[in-house]
Amino acid sequence: MNSPITPELLRQYDVPGPRYTSYPTADRFVEAFGPGDYGQALTQRREGPAAMSLPLSLYVHIPFCESLCYYCACNKIITKHHSKAASYLRYLSQEVELHTAVLGTSQPVSQLHLGGGSPTFLSDDELRELMAMLRRNFAVAPGAECSIEIDPRTVTAERLQVLADLGFNRISFGVQDFDPEVQKAVHRVQPYEQVAALMADARRIGFDSINVDLIYGLPRQTPESFARTLAQVSTLRPDRIALYGYAHLPERFKPQRRILSAELPAGGAKINMLSSALAAFLSAGYVYIGMDHFALPGDALAVAKRQGRLHRNFQGYSTHADCDLIGLGVSAIGKVGATYSQNAKTMEEYCDLLDQGKLPVVRGLALSRDDLARRAVIMALMCQGQLVFESIELAWLLDFRQYFAAEMEQMKELQAQGLVAIDDTGIQVTAKGWFFVRAVAMQFDKYLQADRNRARFSRII
């Protein structure tokens, strides 16, 4: 199966834009939203009519890494002192207790994700302690989706078995690229053979889904070298693949200053890599989920895509319905009711707030009616690839074509390019348009349309 897009179209849409893991996007959060506002949102959840029937999603941020990956834009702490993890777990427990003081200890949880940093920086005993603490304070449902990000350099077959025993059923390997020269350039050396052996172990243990993360546009990458990585990944046959374009923003992310700009592939080569990846994975039988995600046809994500049940949250595409998200740990982002919140980004500020007995929220946003209506539009396009005017009109008591008159005018160009089909009932993202769904969604982003300075976002392509 060939990709329905051309390098020319890829070049046209090689522009910065949000990933829409939320709307409004996190850059719109304000410091006027603090612990009191977040506490009020938690209280409203507890007192709401469906408080115990709507499950929660939990995200726990583990910021520690043993070594620095030069491309990384995550919030992390580089250290070889594993003793820091024990102190951090105590603070996580304090944060959870502040939540359960409001919510109680019986809130149902259908989704749990450990991200970082490197969650596998924690020892087996520390992971056991963390999971036991979470299960004491939340009602993690049988069969809940429990996922964890893994640095292949930090695990063995025995550690993978521990993760399975703790209830993790989805794992994600950070691979990025298998080429030795590229790995040296980004300070992350992990041979193909090492990852292949771990994936074989993970299959033997029986994880429900194995994901592999890749990045194109890294230093010393060439279309030829990346084609070899694509072939190797296709041979490994992970259930899911996340393919990200490297965003070189050294002025924002200090580790990236160690990357030599002269070693980055030119724009044309980067487009070539993306085009090759799309063709390679589609030819290998993967379903294009959207944005930068692929899955085998039998994976739950691909099934959800076929059945129109895709959702999107701060971890990306999900099979779980839109639900409140509790973010725990340094820099973690949450969503409760019609609010977004983010914890302190530094360990010092995070711990200081908890020492004061305060929730460590330092910024966030209470969504307006317009925000909520636009979020519904953007998520329908991003997840289902279609928008029915009547559904938005009934939910938000508005005339769609009148309310979004300027946006519909802008959509005419996308329609002329064959990216969307528009009729009297709604908007349908075409098969070709699905590869540029961020560009479609951007048309309805009020903040982005008013602010043409988009350099803070990663590029769509």
Residue 146 marked in a binding site:
no
> Average pLDDT over the chain, rounded to whole?
91
Query: What percentage of the chain carries pLDDT values higher than 70?
Result: 96
pLDDT for residue 452 is more than 60: no
Position 449 confidence tier, pLDDT thresholds 50, 70, 90: confident
In DSSP notation, 303-338 reads HHHHTT--EEETTEEESSPS--EEEESTT-EEEETT
Residue 77 marked in a binding site:
no
What does the pLDDT look like over 134-186, one tens digit per residue?
A: 999 999 999 899 999 999 999 999 999 999 999 999 999 999 999 999 999 99
Query: What's the token pair of residue 198?
Result: 């771990």
Position 292 confidence tier, pLDDT thresholds 50, 70, 90: confident
Maximum Cα interatomic distance, the chain, rounded to a whole number of Å: 62
Q: With beta carbons less than 8 A apart as the criterion, state whether 428 and 440 touch.
A: no
Residue 65 marked in a binding site:
yes
- Burial of residue 262, with CB atoms counted within 10 A of its CB: 0-12 exposed, 13-18 middle, 19 or more buried: exposed
Least Cα distance to 367 among 102, 20, 30 occurs for 30
In this prediction, residue 1 carries a pLDDT of: 40
Residue 17 marked in a binding site:
no
Length of the chain: 461
Taking the domains of the chain in order of start, what are their residue ranges?
A: 7-325, 368-448
Residue 73 marked in a binding site:
yes
Position 4 confidence tier, pLDDT thresholds 50, 70, 90: low
If you average pLDDT over each of 109-118, 127-136, 239-248, which comes out highest?
A: 127-136
Position 451 confidence tier, pLDDT thresholds 50, 70, 90: low
Residue 286 marked in a binding site:
no
What does the pLDDT look like over 421-438, one tens digit per residue?
A: 999 999 999 988 888 888
In this prediction, residue 74 carries a pLDDT of: 85
Query: What percentage of the chain carries pLDDT values higher than 90?
Result: 73
- Please state the φ and ψ torsions of residue 307, each to the nearest 5 degrees: -90, 5
Q: For domain 368-448, is the CATH number 1.10.10.920?
A: yes
CA distance 419 to 437: 8
Bridge-partner residues for 363, per DSSP?
A: 342
Q: With beta carbons less than 8 A apart as the criterion, state whether 215 and 71 touch.
A: yes
What does the pLDDT look like over 352-366, one tens digit per residue?
A: 999 999 999 999 999
Mean predicted confidence (pLDDT) in 183-197 = 96
Position 54 confidence tier, pLDDT thresholds 50, 70, 90: confident
Residue 392 marked in a binding site:
no
Between 6-20, 307-321, 393-407, the lowest mean confidence (pLDDT) is in 6-20
In this prediction, residue 372 carries a pLDDT of: 96
CA distance 264 to 246: 10
pTM exceeds cut of 0.85: yes
> How does DSSP classify residue 262?
G
- 7-325 architecture in CATH? Alpha-Beta Horseshoe (3.80)
pLDDT for residue 276 is more than 50: yes
Between 117-121, 270-274, 447-451, 457-461, the lowest mean confidence (pLDDT) is in 457-461
Residue 69 marked in a binding site:
yes
Residue 333 marked in a binding site:
yes
